[in-house]
Structure formats: C-alpha cells, structure tokens
Amino acid sequence: MVQKSGRSNPSRGLAGGKASKPVSGDNSSAPAATPPRKRGRPRAFEPDVALKQALDTFRQTGFSATSLDDLSAAMGINRPSLYGTFGDKRELFMKAYQRYRMETNALFAPAFDPKLNVRQMLEMVFAIAIKIYLSGEKGPRGCFTVMTAASEAMADPEIRAVVQKAISNADRTFAERFQQAVTQGQLPASTDSDAVAKLVSASIQSIAIRSRAHAPRTELEGIARSMIDLVAGPQR
Amino acid sequence: MVQKSGRSNPSRGLAGGKASKPVSGDNSSAPAATPPRKRGRPRAFEPDVALKQALDTFRQTGFSATSLDDLSAAMGINRPSLYGTFGDKRELFMKAYQRYRMETNALFAPAFDPKLNVRQMLEMVFAIAIKIYLSGEKGPRGCFTVMTAASEAMADPEIRAVVQKAISNADRTFAERFQQAVTQGQLPASTDSDAVAKLVSASIQSIAIRSRAHAPRTELEGIARSMIDLVAGPQR
DNA sequence: TGATTTTTATACCGTTCCGTATAAATTAAA
DNA sequence: TTTAATTTATACGGAACGGTATAAAAATCA
C-alpha cells in the first residue's frame, strides 16, 4: 500500500541542494539569486517555514495526537500540497525532527566556544536549554528528543535510531569537552569525563521533563545551578 | 460500617458502592472466601488484573496511540464492559496511572527502610528503578510518569497535576531522606538536601528516558553508579 | 417457576482519521 | 496561442476511532 510515486519526484532536485538556509537578516524579499523559475505553477508557501510550523505542532501535541488537519492548518498548506512536498505524516515528522536537531545544535553551538572555560560552558548550556524548553507561545515545550524518546521511539526503530544518536551525541560532546578541560587543568585529573557528561545530560533531560510538567523556572534553574556547582566546584 | 439488615445480605462487603475492592491482605485464607455474590450475571474478569493489562498497554504505546480496541483486546473485555467498569478511555488511563503509582511506590518502599544508610538506599533505589524500567515482555518500558509528563501532561491539566505530584513527591522523599542522613552524620552538614534530591531524581528520569530509547543496561547502571558515588562518596 | 438485576456480546452510529483522485489555476516552454 | 508542467483547491473514500444501543445470557430473589 506504500505506492511509491511512480512519476518523477519533483522535490528531489530541490531537497538535495538547499539543505540549510542561513536565515540571514537581510532577506528583504529579494533573494538576489533569483532562482530559475521552474516550469509549472509556483508554490504558495515556503517549505522551510512550513516545516517549522509542523515542528511546532508536533512539539505541542506529539506525533499520534497530531492530525493531518492540525498540521495542514498550522502550516497553511492543503493536504495534497503537504503530501507532495513532505510525504506522509511519518516522513513529515522525521523531517521536522531533523530540523529540530539542526536548529537546537545551532543554538547550543556558542556554548562550546573553546574560549569559554568549563563553568562558563555549562552556564551557557543550561541557560540555552531552559530558554528553549520554556519557549513557545502556548506554554513550555520541553525537548523534542526527550518527547520522542518517551513516545514514538518505542515502536519505531528508525525514529529510535535518530533519538539514540541525539542522546549519545550530547553525551559525547560533553565528554569531549570535559576531557579537554581535564588536560587544560580546569577539572581534576581524576574526573571521569564520560560519567560526568552523562550526569549533565541527565539533568538537562530532567529539566526538559519538568518544563513540560510546568515546573517553575526557578526549579529548573536550581537544578542547573546544582549540577554546575557539582561539576565545576561551588560558585566562586 | 453500615450493614443494613433490612435486605438481610449475609455477606460482608459493601453492597451499594461499586468500589468493591475487597482484596485485602488476607486473601491467602481458606479457598472458600465466599465472595458476596451479587445479584445479576457475574463478571467474567477480574477488574484488577484487567486494569493491569490496560496499564501495560498504555505504557507500551501511550495514551493517544492506544485504541480502545487495543485495550479491549489486551484486557480481554468487551468494549461495553470496559466502559461500565472503568469509564471512558481517559478515566481508564487515570486509573491505570493511579495503579502504576501505587505499584511502583510499593516496589520502591523497601529502599527507604530506615535501617539502610544513604549509600545502601541509593543502590537499592537505582537497582529497583532499572529493574522496573527494563521490565516488560516486549522490551523496556521506562517510567510511566516520565512518559506521561512528556506527552499527555501538556494538554490535560488534571493529568499534569498528578504527574507534578509524582515528581515532587519523589523529590521530597529523597530530600527528607538526605536531610535525615545529614543529621545522622552520613552526609556532610553542608549538603543541600533539596538540590541533591533533585539531581538524583533527574538521573532516574534520565535512566527512564534512555531505557525507552533502548540504551544498554550497562549505560543505565553506569549513570546510577556515578550518581551514587557523587552523593555518597566514591565506592569504599 | 418467573421477575429482577447485572454483565456479556454483537452490532451499530457519527466522527475523525489518513491518504488520494480530480479538476481548476498558474507558470514556462513550444 | 497552444502545450506541457506543476501546484492548488475541493472533495471524496475506506478505515479506524470513541462511544453506545440493544438484546441475549447468567445470576439471585420472590
């Protein structure tokens, strides 16, 4: 019943090339490139912003509880257009999740500036995490990876794989940074970088969980502070 | 106890209320417990075991992705009977969650035996948590509270309330135990019991998340070990 | 026995779901 | 202008959904 579209898939050429758009500030309606207009009727929507709306909707209500009507309405796209551009609901979910990962990786990147010491890095990481998890027009949204791990990752091996990758990636990023801090003398030589990294990840995941349960911001910040002090020593 | 003699009902047990849950501790008495046979056609199922099946099903696939057909099949009960006994899907979910809380509270209780020191308490807690989260015929199941926080707690205030309660209850239980350990000299006087409690809760929540993403048991045990050593000092 | 009470079993109802067929609309190319 | 290509808009179809009406079944009571 899968019915691979036998005819040429038009989104192929587009999807391959424009993976990431820098979203620069000067997008004043005149992308100087003036992309070569394709043959037929032009799209009435921007795939990237539509995908962002889909992501927001999925983050709000999760995969199962989000209907295609919800998505269609939030994205401002008719169902057939949605299908033609993003595939079925599951494909759309995967693309939205992929976008989420790119987006949040970019948001966290500044915290890993090598000029920052470990404490500064952690303070930035937690601040960014709390900001992300509490953002949202309709209340806090938590972490999409944690949400997905708790729900879809169970039954869907492919989704589980990307979630595993996201979690282990976070662990590894912290571990490498801590190991580096040990060699730089910012952390004691006895530090178990892998272990500490997983505990930091754990506290971030807990912040995500609690944020979705509407825990007060002070509670989230308290967890962050405790973890920072535990890793980098009490506040000077 | 209001045993009206007008109807001459020779049975113990409440006739009017439908909260008939006489499964008290003495169930291992003579096989002739002679349950007070009610008037009409007897039930063909045990409500408590049916509720357990419902809980298992909800834990597997979550609220939205579980259909009443799934529940009906898993519980071995027709839809109308299910309705008559447990109410609609959401009510059933609430009752299943309530049962989960009772069940897990009972499983964790031995770890809080006052005869155990802090390290022993933590080792038991983590061992029990990992055992619960990895149990399940069809793979790991994680923590139902964390699952629910990540999904239904968002849109449903009542569900959110019970999830909040479960989380804060865990925090408080740990905090009280740590505070007690401070007074007993098992932990340094400088210990911030509330903060440490939340970090322990956080690591448990992370273990739940990771278990659902099929993290290997050694990873979960590693997190537990790290947290225990962090709180109670390195292993002696 | 027959009346009453309660549960079971089947089948149904209206709604929502996901996905698609179809035709109109809009563009570039011929 | 005609033709081809592509997207939009409407509407539909089968399936699954949550929930319930209805009658048969199984028990007690009179």
**pLDDT at residue B7 in the model:** 33
How large is the average pLDDT for residues A122-129?
A: 98
Which chain B residue shows the shortest CA-CA distance from A67? Answer: B64
**pLDDT at site B105:** 98
* pLDDT interval class at A39 (50, 70, 90): confident
- Residues of chain B in contact with residue A192, where contact means CB-CB under 8 angstroms, are 226
Q: Which residues of B118-157 are buried (b: 16+ CB within 10 A; e: fewer)?
A: bbebbbbbbebbbebbbeeeeebbbbbbbbbbbbbbbebe
Task: Taking residues A197-217, report their average pLDDT.
Answer: 98
The C-alpha atoms of residue B11 and residue B50 are separated, in whole angstroms, by 25
Nucleotides of C under 7 A from a protein CB: 4-11, 16-22, 24-29
Closest CA to A96 of A31, A162, A168, A22: A162
pLDDT at A35: 63
The pLDDT of residue B29: 40
* CA angle centred on A219, ends B150 and A198, rounded to 5°: 65
Judge if the beta carbon of B81 is closer than 7 A to nucleic acid strand C: yes
Q: Using the CA of A5, give the nucleotide whose C1' is nearest.
A: C20
pLDDT given for residue B68 in this prediction? 97
A81 touches strand D (CB under 7 A): yes
Joined tokens for residue B56: 């298992």
CA nearest to A156, candidates B206, B216, B214: B214
Q: What is the DSSP string of A135-184?
A: --TTS----HHHHHHHTGGGT-HHHHHHHHHHHHHHHHHHHHHHHHHHHT
User: Of residues B4 and B44, which shows the higher confidence score?
Assistant: B44
pLDDT of the residue at A233: 84
Residue carrying the six token digits 């609901």: A89
Cα A126 to Cα A205: distance, rounded to the nearest angstrom = 11
Q: In this predicted structure, what is the pLDDT of residue A33? A: 52
Give chain A's count of helices (H) and strands (E): 10, 0
The answer to whether the CB atoms of A61 and B149 lie below 8 A apart is: no
Write out the E strands in A100-235: none
Contact A166, B224 (CB under 8 A): no
Confidence of residue A156 (pLDDT cuts 50, 70, 90): very high
Q: How long is chain A? A: 236
The whole-number average pLDDT for the span B38-46 is 90
- The amino acid sitting at A119 is R
Least CB-CB distance to B198: which of A163, A192, A222? A222
Q: Which is nearest to B213 in space by CA: A155, A122, A24, A198?
A: A155
Amino acid making up residue A85: T
A114 touches strand D (CB under 7 A): no
The residues in A 200-229 lying below 8 A from B, measured between CB atoms, are: 201-203, 205-207, 209-210, 212-215, 219, 222-223, 225-227
Q: How far is CA B220 from CA A151, A178, B7, B53, B227, in A?
A: 19, 20, 58, 27, 11
Among chain B residues, the shortest Cα distance to A197 is held by B223
Mean pLDDT (chain B) is 87
Pick the residue with more confidence: B207 or A44?
B207
In this prediction, residue A51 carries a pLDDT of 97
Structure token digits, residue A212? 């979705």
More confident site: B111 or A29: B111
The answer to which of A172-176, A200-204, B9-13 has the lowest mean pLDDT is B9-13
Binned at pLDDT 50, 70 and 90, residue A9 comes out as very low
Greater model confidence, A13 or A43? A43
A27 CB neighbours strand D below 7 A: no
Residues contacting B171, CB < 8 A, separation 6+: B194, B197, B198, B201
**C1'-nearest nucleotide to the CA of A67:** C17
Backbone angles phi, psi at B188, to 5 degrees: -60, 150
DSSP B22-88: ---GGGGS-S-------SSSPPSS-HHHHHHHHHHHHHHHTTTT--HHHHHHHHT--HHHHHHHH-S
The answer to whether residues A150 and A142 touch, using CB atoms and an 8 Å cutoff, is: no
% of chain B with per-residue pLDDT over 70: 84
Per-residue pLDDT for A50 more than 50? yes
pLDDT category at A22 given cuts 50, 70, 90 is very low
Contact B207, B126 (CB under 8 A): yes
Of A154, A196, A215, the CB nearest to B212: A154
H or E element at residue A81? helix A79-86
CB A207 within 8 A of CB A233: no
| Closest partner CB to A199 (pick from B139, B196, B223) | B223
What count of other Cβ atoms lies within 10 Å of the Cβ of residue A67? 12
C-alpha to C-alpha distance for A54 and A72, rounded to whole angstroms: 8
More confident site: B26 or A135: A135
pLDDT at B62 exceeding the cut of 80 = yes
pTM of the model: 0.86
pLDDT exceeds cutoff 70 at B35: no
